[in-house]
Structure 1
Amino acid sequence: MRWFGFGFNAFGQICVRETPMKEEESDVTQEVKVLRPTELRTSRVSACWSRTASADPDGDGGVRLAGFGVGVSRACGVYGQQSRGCKDAQISESHLTLAFSDRVECWDLQQEAKTASWSMELKDSDISGPPVKLPLVPGGYITPSPPFYHSLSPHLEAKSLALGAEHAILVTASGAVYTWGLGSHGQLGHGVLISEEEPRVVEALWGMPMSRVATGGWHSACISDGGDLYVWGWNESGQLGLPSRGLSKAKQQQISQQAEEPQDEQKHEDVFISIQAFPALLDVTPSCEITAVSCGSRHTAAVTSAGDLYTWGWGEYGQLGHQNVMSSDEPQRVEFFREQQQRVTDIVCGAWNTFAAVIKKDVACA
């Protein structure tokens, strides 16, 4: 499996350079914005705004970091002996969480400490169960800042959990979806703009088992067992794939600037959605099911059962993968991977960038 990255790269977190730039290569635009999907020397990517981390669960090479603070003369670095044997990793602006077969550790990236800031030993019963899948850990979940550990009620039987900027979304073993945290942009999916301190079931999805969940800055998404995609929350940049007033105004201004004569205002009132407080079914493509979804700060990416990648939302840094900086409130297929005869199998969004796992099209999915 190979990984590709595109979008925001101001700190080298996409790992496209391993040597300092020469003077003739110091084009800031090319350094900050990676418009063409670029292959990474990595696996299993975790991303935040300024860094990426990847762990090799089948090897002992440790966790590879890229981005802010990793090094001036090289773009990528290995997080030393501390991460040997790591099975999963989660990166934030301040901490790196490492999951091993017998423990979970949080390391402060702002200090050169020789010991973890926080650690939790796993019991024999935890080790014999399913492997830890961050941010979930036995009995609860890990957040990017202290206090790291938060407990969850056993009755939830959490199968997967995703953390947004200020909210969380969880799917249970039975496929029910729970959300909690900040709700000011409708990102909790309860039909109101209020916050919830404790997990609350998303009633609009009750009875429709879900398999995967994702969160962005202020929006959320989930995939049903049948491969349908549901989205809700803030739609300021079209990140829900629904009509966005902001993008419509930007298009009208661009058309007016290119036209010789000023354009008249639209005669009819268009319908725009700035906040979608209930889950909405998004028809990405009628011919395929959705198998994976991830959310950035203001963009979203989804993978279909045919191995195609679709993206939508804010695209100022090229994070939509269309090799331009255009934004879109409609899902559009990333043609790069189809042209390269590659099948996308997984997707991870950083705040302003995107990372896709691919295999050759003639290789069957496991």
Structure 2
Amino acid sequence: MSWFGFGFNAFGQISGRDRDGNDGDTSIVYTPTEIKCHVDEKSEKSSELRASWSRRASLHLNGGRSLCLAGSNSPSGICDTGCTDAVVGESFVILVFPDRFESWDLDSDEKIPIWSMDVKTLCDGAGSPFNLPLIPGGYIAMTPPFYRPLSPHLKATRLALGAKHSVLLSASGAVYTWGLGSHGQLGHGSLSSEGQPKVVEALWGMRMIFVATGGWHTACISDGGDLYVWGWNESGQLGLPSRAVRKAPKYQTSEETVVTDLPTCGAQPEGEKDTQVFISIQSFPALVDITPSSELKTVGCGSRHTAAVTRAGDLYTWGWGQYGQLGYETSRSDEPYLVEFFRERQLRVVDVTCGAWNTFVSVVKKEVATS
């Protein structure tokens, strides 16, 4: 398995070649570039990868377990052996060990963690038993208090943290959200905030298998491989018509109104049937088609872009692309497009992780059928 990255690289999170093929770091990586190991040039490639706005964490699970940070203000002292998983943010990194959690202040020169919590060992040492940021009885947040409890009645199996909101997937496939709702990112049909987890009623009865959050948008995948999105669509990150992407027609008059803040994507208002409808806020789940026959495996959300992996191993991206985070030459797109780079090289994408302004994917070589 190999990891590739593309997009914002001003802090050296990707550290690849520039768009002209020259060696060395560049602030933007336009072409997907293989991530080099940051522990030892001769060691195994990282098995897992985590990303924030200015940092990347490479988690090495083969041989000696270790985590290594790349990017802004990433002190070498954070590299630890025995670490089984991690969550990386802008101010703190949470390390997971078989018997404890540790939080390290990335702005401090101290060589000791600022917070730790002992946990009962739940695995045999083969890897982390947790699906971070979920941990027994609650979840890990990137700002104090680092441990936050969750009701056991939710039976959470996956949790994703956005800029100011959270989305939880339960064992039954129900989706719960809470936090800031100003951009419709909670999916409850309003712009109200929620202090406690609340079920997304529009998805009730449909079993979801994966959830992800961006800055102000949310995505989930059903067990049938369908993608549902909601929240802010200013840059087309929902894959719905965006005014910022599709400029208003020149023939438009002052009497015609382009709808820019629809809470839904339903029918157009009476008397405006010839006016193109743009969606800047989608406050309840909307179905997005990638291609007529594609079923999705996983999805990642950046600040204002989205990336999805099909079960066939193709990568589609859309939204804001000013820093090359879409993997093709465009500043923004409100329609999913295939990233041809991996298909052309017979690489099958198996996972995706989005930083705020960049994208990382893990790939394996496609098996060639022999007669």
Q: Fold-level match, TM-score > 0.5? A: yes
Letter in 2 for 1:148: F
Match of 1:152 in 2: 150
SS at structure 2 position matched to 1:249: coil
| Residues 245 and 334, structure 2, Cα contact 8 Å, conserved in 1 | yes
Match of 2:352 in 1: 347
Pairs within 5 Å for 1:251-266: 264-265=251-252
Match of 1:79 in 2: 78
Query: Which whole-Å CA distance do the structure 1 matches of 2:357 and 2:368 have between them?
Result: 30
| Residues 99 and 134, structure 1, Cα contact 8 Å, conserved in 2 | no
| Residues 215 and 295, structure 1, Cα contact 8 Å, conserved in 2 | yes
Q: Does residue 57 of structure 2 align to residue 57 of structure 1?
A: no
Query: Which whole-Å CA distance do the structure 2 matches of 1:286 and 1:119 have between them?
Result: 48
| Residues 169 and 211, structure 2, Cα contact 8 Å, conserved in 1 | yes
| Residues 62 and 86, structure 1, Cα contact 8 Å, conserved in 2 | yes
Deviations 1:30-58 (A, max 9, x none): 81110000000243111111111121234
Which of 120, 123, 127 in structure 1 is aligned with 2:120? 123
Which of 228, 231, 234 in structure 2 is aligned with 1:233? 231
| Residues 84 and 97, structure 2, Cα contact 8 Å, conserved in 1 | yes
What is the CA RMSD across the aligned residues, in angstroms?
A: 2.3
TM-score calculated relative to the size of structure 2 = 0.86
Query: Which whole-Å CA distance do the structure 2 matches of 1:179 and 1:265 have between them?
Result: 39
Pairs within 5 Å for 1:172-251: 172-249=170-247
Structure with higher helix content: 1
Letter in 1 for 2:318: W
In structure 2, list runs of 5 or more residues that go unmatched: 37-45, 257-273
Deviations 1:276-312 (A, max 9, x none): 1010111111212100100000000000011000000
Query: Which whole-Å CA distance do the structure 1 matches of 2:169 and 2:305 have between them?
Result: 22
Q: Does residue 45 of structure 2 align to residue 31 of structure 1?
A: no
Match of 1:94 in 2: 91
| Residues 102 and 127, structure 1, Cα contact 8 Å, conserved in 2 | no
Letter in 2 for 1:53: A
Query: Which whole-Å CA distance do the structure 1 matches of 2:6 and 2:23 have between them?
Result: 19
Deviations 1:174-225 (A, max 9, x none): 1110000000000000001000000000011111111110000000000111
Residue 64 of structure 1: how far off its partner (Å) = 1.4
Query: Which whole-Å CA distance do the structure 2 matches of 1:189 and 1:363 have between them?
Result: 42
SS at structure 2 position matched to 1:55: strand
Query: Which whole-Å CA distance do the structure 1 matches of 2:72 and 2:173 have between them?
Result: 37
Letter in 2 for 1:54: S
In structure 1, list runs of 5 or more residues that go unmatched: 72-76, 253-262
Pairs within 5 Å for 1:230-309: 230-249=228-247, 264-265=251-252, 268-309=274-315
Residue 363 of structure 1: how far off its partner (Å) = 7.6
Which of 104, 111, 115 in structure 1 is aligned with 2:108? 111
Query: Which whole-Å CA distance do the structure 2 matches of 1:92 and 1:197 have between them?
Result: 22
Query: Which whole-Å CA distance do the structure 1 matches of 2:301 and 2:65 have between them?
Result: 28
Residue 325 of structure 1: how far off its partner (Å) = 3.9
Residue 84 of structure 1: how far off its partner (Å) = 0.9
When residues 32 and 269 of structure 1 are mapped into structure 2, their CA distance, relative to the original with a 3 A threshold, is: same
Query: Which whole-Å CA distance do the structure 2 matches of 1:363 and 1:137 have between them?
Result: 40
Match of 1:310 in 2: 316
| Residues 74 and 106, structure 2, Cα contact 8 Å, conserved in 1 | no
SS at structure 1 position matched to 2:153: helix
Query: Which whole-Å CA distance do the structure 1 matches of 2:64 and 2:112 have between them?
Result: 19
TM-score calculated relative to the size of structure 1 = 0.87
SS at structure 2 position matched to 1:161: strand
Report the identity percentage.
Answer: 62
Residue 264 of structure 1: how far off its partner (Å) = 4.3
Q: Does residue 52 of structure 2 align to residue 48 of structure 1?
A: yes
Residue 316 of structure 1: how far off its partner (Å) = 0.2
Deviations 1:237-293 (A, max 9, x none): 00000000111129x7xxxxxxxxxx6448941111111101011111121210010
Letter in 2 for 1:311: T
Letter in 2 for 1:287: S
Residue 345 of structure 1: how far off its partner (Å) = 0.3
Residue 70 of structure 1: how far off its partner (Å) = 3.2
Q: Number of paired residues?
A: 336
Which of 331, 337, 355 in structure 2 is aligned with 1:332? 337
Q: Does residue 169 of structure 2 align to residue 132 of structure 1?
A: no
SS at structure 1 position matched to 2:247: helix
Query: Which whole-Å CA distance do the structure 1 matches of 2:102 and 2:175 have between them?
Result: 28
Query: Which whole-Å CA distance do the structure 2 matches of 1:68 and 1:132 have between them?
Result: 27
